[in-house]
Each structure stands twice: as C-alpha cells, then as structure tokens.
Chain A
C-alpha cells in the first residue's frame, strides 16, 4: 500500500488533524489510513504557516483516501467558491470549516506560545542556585554554641544548679515584656510545633532549643530589634530569629485569636454594665478610636492609598478598649488615607451593630428614667451621629453639657491609654512595620494585641483604677484593702486611695465654686497616687 506524501499534503493535513489525541476514538472513522495521524506533524499556527499553505493549488491534490468531506464541502469546491467571492485561501478554509480546524489551529498556536515561554523559564531554573541547606564544606558554619545561648537564658530567668535567677519578676517583664506566666504559656504551646522543635542539621549537630527561639522572637517583638541583635545573647542566626518571629506571630494568631480577640460574653457584658453605672455612663461598653501604624516598606504602587494626610504611609488600627485596657475589638489593615469615618464604614463592628447581630438586645440599662437596649461606645466628635456612638456636645454652652464633655473625654481616654500601653510594651507596634504585605502587618498587630490581652489577664488587678481597686478586685468580691493596694504599690500604709485617672477626672468635673475639692491638686500624670492621707475608719 502506497502511502501518500503526508508531509506535502497541506490542505488535507489540517482537515485530518482536528482530533486531539485523547479523543481519537470519537474520530477513528475519519482516519481510514492507520498511522496517518501519527505521522502528521503538529500543525503550525495560522500566522506561522509556510507560504505554500496559502497556495490555492496544492502540490498533491485531494484523493479519495484523504478527502473526508462530502462533495458539497470539498476544499476545491470551496476554494472555487471563495475565488468567486474574492476570499483568500485561509479565509476559505475558515469559511468551510465547522470549527474543528480553528480549534486545532488555536490549540497549536497556544502550544507554540507555551513552548516559547517554557524555554526562558527553564533557562532561569537552570541558572537558579539550588537550595541545599547546611552542607558540610559549602561554607564554614559558625560555631554559635547553642548550648551557651540556652544556658544564658536559664541562668538569667530560671536559675541553674539551685542558684536563683539573676532577674526577678519585675525585671522579667521589663526585659521580655510579658509576665512569666505568659511566657510559660507561650512556650508550652509552641515547643511541640515542627518549626520550633530542636532539630539536627545535615552536619549532624543539634540545633537551637524552642526556648531560645521563643525568647529571641519575644525580644524582636518587644524591642523591635534587628534579627541579628539577638545573636549575641541567644546564639541564633539572623535567619533563624526572623523566621521564628514570623512563625510565632502566626502561631499566636492561629491559636488564641478566638480566645483573646472576641466580643464580650453575656456575663462580661453584665459586669461592664455595672462598671459603666459606677462611672456614671450607663450602657457604655468601651471607647472607640483609631490610630495609625506606619508602614516602612510600603510598595510605591500602593503609596497613594496608604499615605496618610500627615505624610507617612501606613495602615489604620481601629480598637475598642475598656478601663482595664482589654481590647474588645480590633480592626487592622484599612489604608492610611482613610479617616476614622471611612474606617468605621468598613469595620466589622459597624456591620454587626447595624445588622442587629451584636451587641445583644437582652442587656438593658436605664438613663434618666428611660430604659434602653442599644449599648453604646464613647467616641470623639468626628464619628457620625449613630445611636450606638456617644460623642461629646459639639458646642457646649451650659454647665451640664460642659460637665458631660469633661467626663466623656476622660473616660474616652481609656482607648488612647490602651494604644500607649500597647506601643510602650511591644515596640514592634511603635516603630514602622518592616513587612512587604498588608497581611503580615495585620498578623503582627493581631498577635501583639493578643499578647497584650494575655498580659492584661495575668495582671488585671494592677490595671484597675484605685477607686475600684480600693473597693475590691476586678471580680467585685471586695478582697483587697487599701493597705494591700498601697503595699503592692510600695506606698506607705494608712492612706486612703484617691486620685486615679478616673479620680482626676472627677475632680475636673467640678464647676468652679460648686463643691469643695480635695486639698491636693490633680496629679500631673494619670498615675496611681495617694492624694490624701487620713486615718482609716
């Protein structure tokens, strides 16, 4: 059997090829000559076809073997018809085609494009240096002495060989910015993570312990120091410290976000209602405000959206805090060009409140003889006049309005104090973020907020105002006397606690000549101070 000169059959080649190999069974009847399709070369794209493809007179005429079309659609007939109508040969092929030829041509064209893309990609892959980890002899490994780093930490904070640690609890929190209980909790949770476990390198040496990585990461979070700074103390490389910091932040968010960044429960709302009544603002469940966090490595393409009105680029952080500095709501990541109103419009807090999902309407409070169910936040004057936001009087003229504004401003400072304490404790939130993505910024601030709430939980009684602290603990069971609080504050006993942040506010509330004030002036700083000493009852 004489096979046709396949390579020179141009027209029938395209007619015979439209079948993709995987679907050959559907078109098996179209190929009476077995093996024809295997020997047909891959069709070139239409734009790259040789010039003889457009030749109206092919070298080999169609035969009965290769022509699979009906006489009505015979290419010669089509070409004649096209010549009469003035169409080109390629256009005539497309005109007489039922879609299969175009499909094959497009497929071939795309294959060629992919092939052209694959070549430089493969060349780049060949040029890329393969990552091989630590290999003996590749580069002299630094003899960091991981055991010495671990010994330093144990000697300073935990004690070695029955010798007490160098630093006590106060120094502990100053140096690592978290109490001992919080560090212990983080360490126990993270030490079994695969990226924190002690490993054996390719050279057969034991690597760093989880405690070293946790301490190094906390130093970066607490002091925002460069990753290589911890090398001198914990004996870890820059890459290890940077990776441990990132992984620890992600772990904290993944593990404790639902615990420490949540809405208050029903019982907590009840306690907040009691506190708000004591502060003469019934129904208040916190103070709402925004702050900016500068973004050091903001890409130039995003500068327009993330540049604030003051110049630096950054993101906006919206938070709700109470007087214990607990963060009840956090919304990070809004572009720095937005003001507080726009951030509130995007905030999940507003969406939940306006949709009626939160806060629950079962909690009621009474103001001026009217019982209400809509709880509210204290905010500054820029916020819109919503029913769940209480802002100060814009133009106070009466004593009542001025008094209310003073109280509102003083209580609203809780959230400002919250931002200050958070930044002071975790310097990574104070300095500009050194990340390339907004996602990493969000993760970092969330993790810092979670750590802050964990610290507040462990030391909540210290954050209490002395007015309530003198009455009792945060739980309201009255277990703490004045002398105990004074002793905890290293103040002389026998005094009556007055003059906290709230107390300072209360004195400022008094209109001139209305009531007699305490003898001492308000403290310059909103700290816990004994203003008056008198014998106990």
Chain B
C-alpha cells in the first residue's frame, strides 16, 4: 500500500505545481536577506 501511495504522491502534477509556487513565494519573501551580502 505504501508503494502505491508513493507512486501516486511522487508523480502528482498538482504537488509539483504547489511546490514550485511555494518555493517562488519563499524566495520572494526572503530575497532581501538573500541579497544582503551583495548590496553595498
């Protein structure tokens, strides 16, 4: 059963889109801290 769960979960396009959206929002919210060493 765990195999079927993993099969469905890892191949989910919805999860793919959701993860990319969350990463985009995470990067945008933390861009100031990320770029601080490179700003004079």
A residues sitting closer than 8 Å to B (CB atoms) are: 280-283, 353-356, 367-368, 370, 372, 374, 376, 384-391, 393, 399-401, 403-404, 407, 467, 498, 503, 506-507, 509-510, 515-519, 532
Q: Is the CB of B23 within 8 A of A367?
A: yes
Q: Is the CB of B38 within 8 A of A282?
A: no
Q: Residue on A with the closest CB to B5?
A: A356
Q: Residue on B with the closest CB to A398?
A: B24
Q: Is the CB of B7 within 8 A of A404?
A: no
Chain B hits for A506, CB < 8 A:
34-35, 37-38
Q: Considering the chains assembled together, what is the distance between the CA atoms of A353 and B16 in angstroms? A: 14
Kindly count the residue-residue contacts between A and B in the assembled complex, taking CB atoms under 8 Å apart: 111
Q: Considering the chains assembled together, what is the distance between the CA atoms of A384 and B12 in angstroms? A: 10
Q: Residue on A with the closest CB to B17?
A: A385
Chain B hits for A509, CB < 8 A:
31, 34-35
Q: Residue on A with the closest CB to B35?
A: A506
Min CB distance B10 to A, Å, is: 5
Q: Is the CB of B28 within 8 A of A403?
A: yes
Chain B hits for A384, CB < 8 A:
11
| Across the A-B interface, the 6 shortest Cβ-Cβ residue pairs | A356-B6, A387-B15, A368-B22, A385-B13, A404-B24, A385-B16
Q: Is the CB of A374 within 8 A of B23?
A: no
Q: Considering the chains assembled together, what is the distance between the CA atoms of A281 and B27 in angstroms? A: 8
- Answer whether A390 and B38 are a contact pair too, CB < 8 Å, given A280-B30, A353-B10, A356-B5: no
Q: Considering the chains assembled together, what is the distance between the CA atoms of A391 and B24 in angstroms? A: 11
Q: Residue on B with the closest CB to A281?
A: B23
Chain B hits for A407, CB < 8 A:
27
Q: Considering the chains assembled together, what is the distance between the CA atoms of A510 and B40 in angstroms? A: 13
Chain A hits for B17, CB < 8 A:
385
- B40's partner among A390, A399, A503, A518 (CB-CB below 8 A) is A518
Chain B hits for A399, CB < 8 A:
28
Chain A hits for B30, CB < 8 A:
280
Q: Considering the chains assembled together, what is the distance between the CA atoms of A401 and B10 in angstroms? A: 23
Q: Considering the chains assembled together, what is the distance between the CA atoms of A317 and B21 in angstroms? A: 30
Chain B hits for A372, CB < 8 A:
19
Chain B hits for A391, CB < 8 A:
16, 20
Chain A hits for B7, CB < 8 A:
354-356
Chain B hits for A517, CB < 8 A:
38-40
Q: Is the CB of A507 within 8 A of B19?
A: no
Q: Residue on A with the closest CB to B25?
A: A368
Q: Is the CB of A389 within 8 A of B23?
A: no
Q: Is the CB of B39 within 8 A of A515?
A: yes
Q: Could you list some 24 contacts between A and B, CB below 8 A?
A: A280-B26, A280-B30, A353-B6, A356-B5, A367-B19, A367-B26, A368-B23, A368-B26, A374-B9, A385-B16, A385-B17, A386-B10, A386-B13, A388-B10, A390-B19, A390-B23, A393-B24, A404-B24, A503-B37, A509-B31, A515-B32, A516-B39, A518-B38, A518-B39
Q: Considering the chains assembled together, what is the distance between the CA atoms of A284 and B3 in angstroms? A: 23
- Answer whether A387 and B10 are a contact pair too, CB < 8 Å, given A367-B22, A393-B24: yes
Q: Residue on A with the closest CB to B32?
A: A515
Q: Considering the chains assembled together, what is the distance between the CA atoms of A233 and B14 in angstroms? A: 61
Q: Residue on A with the closest CB to B12?
A: A387
Min CB distance A396 to B, Å, is: 9
Q: Considering the chains assembled together, what is the distance between the CA atoms of A372 and B20 in angstroms? A: 13
Q: Is the CB of B19 within 8 A of A355?
A: no
- Answer whether A356 and B20 are a contact pair too, CB < 8 Å, given A280-B30, A387-B12: no
- Answer whether A393 and B6 are a contact pair too, CB < 8 Å, given A374-B15, A498-B38: no
- Answer whether A356 and B3 are a contact pair too, CB < 8 Å, given A370-B22, A388-B10, A404-B27: yes
| Residue among B2, B17, B26, B32 having the largest count of chain A Cβ atoms under 10 Å | B26
Min CB distance B33 to A, Å, is: 9
Min CB distance B11 to A, Å, is: 5
Min CB distance A410 to B, Å, is: 12
Q: Is the CB of B39 within 8 A of A356?
A: no
Q: Is the CB of A387 within 8 A of B35?
A: no
Q: Residue on A with the closest CB to B6?
A: A356
- Answer whether A400 and B6 are a contact pair too, CB < 8 Å, given A387-B11, A467-B37, A507-B38: no
| Residue among A368, A370, A399, A519 having the largest count of chain B Cβ atoms under 10 Å | A368
Min CB distance A536 to B, Å, is: 15
Min CB distance A505 to B, Å, is: 10
- A393's partner among B11, B15, B20 (CB-CB below 8 A) is B20
